[in-house]
Structures are given as C-alpha cells and as structure tokens.
C-alpha cells in the first residue's frame, strides 16, 4: 500500500512539474486574426507535435480555407464583379526571409499550399492569375475546379439585381449601373490630374467584417523559428484582377525571427500603401513593446485615412502579443503553452 501511495505521489508530482515547466515556456505560440478557433487549434496541434513554424502556419490557414472562415477565406465566397471567386495567399519564413505567394489565383482551392509551393520550389516571390493556377496544378494540387459556391452566386445575383451597388468604381459613368464603365469628365487626363480627394476617399468604402477579411497567422515553433501566413478570397464584388494586401509581405503579415511577427486585416487597398506589418516589426526591432508597435503602425494609416477600417496584431520573439485597430472592434486568437485552449483577445478602436 505504501509503495502504491509512493508511486501515486511521484506521478502527481511529475504531472505538476510538467505543467509548471510547460506554463513557463515561451513557445510554441500561435496567433491569428479573428476568432478562427479551429484554424489556431490546427496550427497548435501541428507545432506542438514538432512541425516547423512554416508547416504549422500552412496547417492553420489550410484549415480555415476548408472551413471557409467567415466566407472570406478559401473557395466559395467573396465573388468579384463577374461572380467569380479567386484566392490570394502568402507564406513567409522569418528565418530565411523567403516568401511564397499567389494572387488572383483561379480554379485551385488551396491557396496557402500553392503559396508554399512557390516558396519551396521556385526562386520567385509571387505568381499570379491563371499562371499561378497552372503552376499549382502542375505541382500536384487539385484542380481545375470552380471556386464559386451556391452562396457566392446567390450573393452575386442579388448584387446584380441591385444595379451592382455598392462597387469599387470611382470617377466613372454610368455611376448607378453595372456598366460598361467609362471615365467621367472632359478627358482621361483631367481624371488623372485631379488630386482632390472626395470625402469618402479618406476612408474605407464597401469594407466590413464579412465582406473583406483575411486570416493572418503567426507561429513561433518549439525552437523559436517564426513564420507567418495569410489566405483570403479578397474583397466582395472587387473589380476582376484586383489584388489586395493578402499576398503582400509587409502588409498583411511579416516575420523576422530576430524580432517577431505581425498579422493584419481590413481594407487592404489602403493598408498595403503603408506596409503596416513591416512597420510594426521594425518598431519592435527599435525596442517598442508589441502594444505600442501595433498602435504606431495603425496610427500612421489613420493620420492619412481617418475613416479607414483595419487592425493588426504584433508578437515579439518572446511570445508577448498585442493588437491595435481603427474603425472597428478587433479580435485575435492566441494559443501558447500556458493555455489549455485557444484564447480570444478583444481590442477596441484607438
């Protein structure tokens, strides 16, 4: 009886010690935009099982694509003006600083895996359009397949019935129709020389939580390597050919294993002009804590576009994280060794 009690005591002590050591560990860490819980769990299971940061990011974003998170990630959502769904995705290795990305990719449902193929099997950074699709299929991904869904076609049909309003056109005629569109004014030269911004051009138009979103994820693996990944089907009713910030390193996400990482979401057409994630990581390199680094990166955009909508998270190499947003309330998700499951953090506009 005494022997059994001794063994039981040792077992309890061992479990407590393991839990204490695990809670004190800084990584692995997974951080993602929005409450995409299953995506974070998929990435956590991968990295906790020994996957590299790059592979874990791909696992997490791939889960979101399959789940069609918020209808804004993966196939079956965000139709463009022609009713077609296209994908943008990016993977960045914060150790090597190598990037793989695809943009405006048609017919291939696995955007993040296509981006990883660009990273691993080419000397390029980004492939676009039908050529990106052909490359991905040639390298073994399934396709070609129709990326539209019953839901996306229904949404597009209702939009067409509403005279294609709202849309992303400006300075065109006819304004309140589905086109074809032509430049508005005495000449194209006059349009190009007009430097006066209309009031709504200082902010985000047609952008909302379920019409314009991205999963942006950062992972620090068990040995401290950092990677980021993004996947999105872009802005709903975008002009065909439009590429947002999703596949742009430094805008939607950025990683440097010497410093930390960042992930962003929101009005990509505005945000990509400022490279907010590059800014946030460089802020941390200069000594800023993640909270201040994130707030500074967002405030730089807000000074020029006071009505824009966007958000980001920043995480340093030690796993300390924070978020900042403008124009909406933002949530991001985290899993680290001190948590039993994914935890969602809410950030209010600054």
Binding residue numbers: 242-245, 265-268
**Annotation marks residue 214 as catalytic:** yes
Catalytic residue among 214, 230, 232, 236: 214
Q: To the nearest 10°, the Cα dihedral for 206, 207, 212, 214?
A: 160
The whole-angstrom distance between residue 67's C-alpha and the CA centroid of its chain comes to: 15
Nearest to 35, CA basis, from 340, 336, 350, 335 = 335
Strand-pairing partners, residue 228, are 92, 218
DSSP code of residue 325? E
DSSP code of residue 13? H
DSSP code of residue 249? B
**Extended beta strands in 124-259, E state:** 126-128, 172-173, 182-183, 215-220, 226-232, 253-256
Q: Give the helix ranges, DSSP H, for the chain.
A: 2-24, 37-48, 53-67, 111-121, 129-138, 150-161, 188-193, 268-271, 276-285, 290-304
Greatest CA span in the chain, whole angstroms?
A: 97
**Extended beta strands in 221-309, E state:** 226-232, 253-256, 260-266
Nearest to 28, CA basis, from 7, 11, 52 = 52
CA angle 327, 332, 336 (to 5 degrees): 160
Which residues belong to the annotated binding site for substrate? Answer: 242-245, 265-268
Q: Which two tokens stand for residue 260?
A: 């930390």
CA dist 166 and 159 (Å) reads: 8
CA dist 218 and 60 (Å) reads: 10
Task: Please count the other Cβ atoms lying within 10 Å of the Cβ belonging to residue 129.
Answer: 15
Q: List residues with catalytic annotation.
A: 214
């Amino acid at each position: 009886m005494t022997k059994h009690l001794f063994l039981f005591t040792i077992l309890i002590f061992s479990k407590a010690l393991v839990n204490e050591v695990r809670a004190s560990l800084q990584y692995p860490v997974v951080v993602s935009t929005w409450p995409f819980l299953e995506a974070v769990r998929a990435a956590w299971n991968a990295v906790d099982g020994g996957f590299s940061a790059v592979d874990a990011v791909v696992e997490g974003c791939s889960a979101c694509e399959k789940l069609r998170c918020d209808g804004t990630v993966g196939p079956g959502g965000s139709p463009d003006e022609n009713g077609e769904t296209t994908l943008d995705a990016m993977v960045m290795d914060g150790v090597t600083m190598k990037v793989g990305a695809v943009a405006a990719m048609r017919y291939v449902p696995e955007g993040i895996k296509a981006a990883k193929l660009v990273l691993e099997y080419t000397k390029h950074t980004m492939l676009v359009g039908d050529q990106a699709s052909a490359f991905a299929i040639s390298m073994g991904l399934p396709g070609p397949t129709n990326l539209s869904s019953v839901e996306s076609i229904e949404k597009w049909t209702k939009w067409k019935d509403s005279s294609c309003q709202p849309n992303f056109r400006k300075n065109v005629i006819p304004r309140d129709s589905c086109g074809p569109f032509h430049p508005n004014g005495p000449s194209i030269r006059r349009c190009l020389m007009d430097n006066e911004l209309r009031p709504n051009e200082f902010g985000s138009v047609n952008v909302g939580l379920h019409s314009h979103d991205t999963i942006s994820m950062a992972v620090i693996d068990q040995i401290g390597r950092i990677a980021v990944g993004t996947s999105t089907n872009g802005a709903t009713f975008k002009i065909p050919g439009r590429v947002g910030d999703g596949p742009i390193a430094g805008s939607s996400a950025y990683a440097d294993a010497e410093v930390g990482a960042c992930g962003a979401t929101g009005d990509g057409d505005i945000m990509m002009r400022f490279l907010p994630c590059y800014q946030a990581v460089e802020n941390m390199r200069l000594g800023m804590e993640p909270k201040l680094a994130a707030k500074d990166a967002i405030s730089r955009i807000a000074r020029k576009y006071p009505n824009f909508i966007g958000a980001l998270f920043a995480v340093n190499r030690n796993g300390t994280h924070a978020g900042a947003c403008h124009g909406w309330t933002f949530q991001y998700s985290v899993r680290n060794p001190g948590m039993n499951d994914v935890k969602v953090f809410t950030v209010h506009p600054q």
